Amino acid sequence: MVQFSEEKMAKVKEIISRYPEGRQKSALMPILHLAQEEWGWLSADTMDYVAGLLQLEPIEVYEVATFYTMYNLKPVGKHVFEVCHTGPCMVSGSDDIIAYIKEKLGIGVGETTADGLFTLKTAECLGACGYAPMMQMGKFYKEHLTREKVDQIIDECRRQAASLN
Ligand code: FES
């Protein structure tokens, strides 16, 4: 059964309380982020649960969750690479970065490695055009990407995963 932990539920209540009565839909996006933090992705059950919490129709939640690429609608790896492929990043080499990540990890865009460590996605402009080419990785931006930097990032993720095993 889908249910937020006590700690997350307290946060949900705090977020809802920021908005006037009847405007709880405004809390939808931050609560979807919390749900994604809790379960890694947004299943239909999770979206229905969030709809119930906010007294919304499930379709209202699906509309938002499917519109924004930052919400994962299927299970993703521990590290999600969202490589920007909009104009400024593209002219700075994002296509090459995407191709390199695909080759190095053996996955396509939208796919996850068999070990569950990495998912590759593309994203529209992430507002860091001056640092192109770039990608978002969780809460962090990885900027001025080169093949070498991609190698370092992947190695670091693998090191972290190995140290936890
Ligand atoms: S075009 Fe990539 S961050 Fe703006």
- pLDDT 10s digits, 139-163: 899 999 999 999 999 999 999 999 9
Helix, strand, or coil (residue 55): coil
* Residue type (1 letter), 120: L
- pLDDT 10s digits, 11-57: 999 999 999 988 999 999 999 999 999 998 999 999 999 999 999 99
Q: What's the 127 CA to ligand 1 centre distance in angstroms?
A: 5
pTM for the model: 0.83
Which residue did the predictor score with more confidence, 65 or 139? 65
Residue 146 to residue 7: CA distance in whole angstroms: 39
Atom of ligand 1 nearest to the CA of 126: 3
Q: What's the 68 CA to ligand 1 centre distance in angstroms?
A: 16
Residues 32, 64 contacting (CB under 8 angstroms): yes
Q: Is 45 left (phi over 0), alpha (psi -120 to 50) or beta?
A: alpha
- Residue written as token pair 């919490």: 53
Pocket test for ligand 1, best of 83, 98, 126 (most atoms within 8 A of CB): 126
Domains annotated for the chain, with CATH where assigned, are 6-67 (1.10.10), 79-164 (3.40.30.10)
